[in-house]
Amino acid sequence: MYRITKFDVPTSTPLKSIAFYNQVFGWTFQPSINQKRWTACVESSEHQVFGNPFLRKAKSARSLTNAIEVRNVEHTLTDIRKEGGEVIVPKFPVPGIGWMAYFKDLEQNIFGIMQTDRAAA
């Protein structure tokens, strides 16, 4: 199976974005020497993703919409709202796969979250 190994999150406020993703998903970050780039450590039960997620926003930035694996969609949506994110598509079933929802982070980047549950209907 192919997995995402690096991702970019456009932002004009890296420290705010770091706080958001740390509080909601528990991701940890290490700055480069000049703090213009950050390396994220994103761990799941099966793999790790390292990357430079926070890039300055470009006027013509385009992005893919990635989904983040979570244990519980409802709890994660609560955390997203608490940290200032916006739920744009509430929890819905993906039959035979799980539950999904979409949100905007503090910089209006869109991500999905997915909870595995083969009984979802």
d(CA 29, CA 109): 19
99 in any annotated domain: yes
pLDDT at 26: 85
d(CA 121, CA 119): 6
68 in any annotated domain: yes
51 in any annotated domain: yes
Q: Whole domain around residue 19: which residue ranges?
A: 9-116
4 in any annotated domain: no
63 in any annotated domain: yes
pLDDT tens-place string over residues 25-71: 888 887 777 666 677 767 655 555 545 556 665 555 556 678 888 89
Look at the chain and report how many structural domains it folds into. 1
> Residue 83 — very low, low, confident or very high, per pLDDT cuts 50/70/90?
very high
2 in any annotated domain: no
For the chain, the residue count is: 121
121 in any annotated domain: no
d(CA 90, CA 14): 26
CATH number of the domain enclosing 101: 3.10.180.10
Question: Which of 49-53, 73-77, 108-112, 117-121 has the highest mean predicted lDDT (pLDDT)?
Answer: 73-77
Task: Supply the mean pLDDT for the chain.
Answer: 80
Full-model pTM: 0.71
1 in any annotated domain: no
Give the DSSP H/E element, type plus range, for residue 88.
Answer: strand 86-94
